Amino acid sequence: MKNTLRKNEAAPKKAKYKILLVDDHPILRQGLAQMINEEKDLIVCGQFEEASKALDAVIALKPDAAIVDISLKGSSGIELLKNIKVQYPKLLVLVLSMHDESLYAERALRAGASGYIMKQEATDQVLVALRKVLNGEIYLSEKMSSKLMHQLVSGRATDAGSLMERLSDRELEIFGLIGEGRGTRQIAEQLHLSVKTIESHRAHIKEKLNLKNATELVHRAIQMRGE
């Protein structure tokens, strides 16, 4: 006898994919949540601006995927990504950031991300990236995919990429912001750190990259954005 539904019986609803949002910009986070919640198969299960709270929420909310920014209160998004992968290795993570993919995408993938998309992309492209990640695939822009493929074929990383490996996650974040023309105080406010802490990071960056002064640091940071 065939197992068919009666006319007055509804087909069981397919569970929605639960998405966790981690971004320290409330307006962007709310807009992203609204866009995701309008999809029939997706729902935002939690929103956080601090890395520590997001990490604690993963076990309680059991999301299928997380969308994580690089710049967060209290910690770098890359550090959060590493912690997530240690404690919850099966959680899929898409990095959504204003930071240039040429500096961050490869490092994010190595830390365990399944994709990297810049905030400058059209909003509907975020859904494309998210669905690709949920499908078990890797999402990168065509430009970044081509760059990584070239490195793979040539068998070596670029000199610039090798140089950036000297920097910690937080130092790379600050280096990128310097390249965007941000001053020390602006960076401190954005990352919720003290001016003294940013100055200390700047000094370490100059030392690691063998730069003589602040002028060389700014020039190198701007140069990296164009490579």
What domains, with CATH codes, occur in the chain?
17-148 (3.40.50.2300), 157-226 (1.10.10.10)
Given a cut of 80, is residue 164 above it in pLDDT? no
Given a cut of 80, is residue 35 above it in pLDDT? yes
Is the pTM higher than 0.85? Answer: no
Sheet bearing 17-22, strands edge to edge? 42-48, 17-22, 65-68, 92-97, 115-118
- Percent helix / strand / coil, the chain, rounded to 5: 55, 15, 30
Given a cut of 60, is residue 129 above it in pLDDT? yes
Distance CA 33, CA 115 (A): 18
What is residue 225's predicted lDDT score, i.e. its pLDDT? 64
Given a cut of 60, is residue 178 above it in pLDDT? yes
The pLDDT confidence band at residue 52, using thresholds 50, 70 and 90, is confident
Average pLDDT for residues 44-70, to the nearest whole number? 92
The pLDDT confidence band at residue 157, using thresholds 50, 70 and 90, is low
Given a cut of 50, is residue 1 above it in pLDDT? no
Beta-carbon contacts of 60 under 8 Å, excluding residues fewer than 6 positions away, are: none
Amino acid at 9: E
> In the chain, what percentage of residues exceed pLDDT 90?
48
Beta-carbon contacts of 117 under 8 Å, excluding residues fewer than 6 positions away, are: 94, 95, 96, 97, 125, 126, 129, 139, 141
Given a cut of 70, is residue 34 above it in pLDDT? yes
Given a cut of 50, is residue 81 above it in pLDDT? yes
Mean pLDDT of the chain: 85
Average pLDDT for residues 77-89, to the nearest whole number? 90
Pairing verdict, β 92-97 and 115-118: parallel
What is residue 204's predicted lDDT score, i.e. its pLDDT? 95
User: Angle at Cα 139 formed by Cα 135 and Cα 144, nearest 5°?
Assistant: 165
DSSP-derived 3-state class of residue 132: helix
Q: Which residues of 195-209 are buried (b: 16+ CB within 10 A; e: fewer)?
A: eeebeebbeebbebb
The pLDDT confidence band at residue 115, using thresholds 50, 70 and 90, is very high
Distance CA 33, CA 17 (A): 13
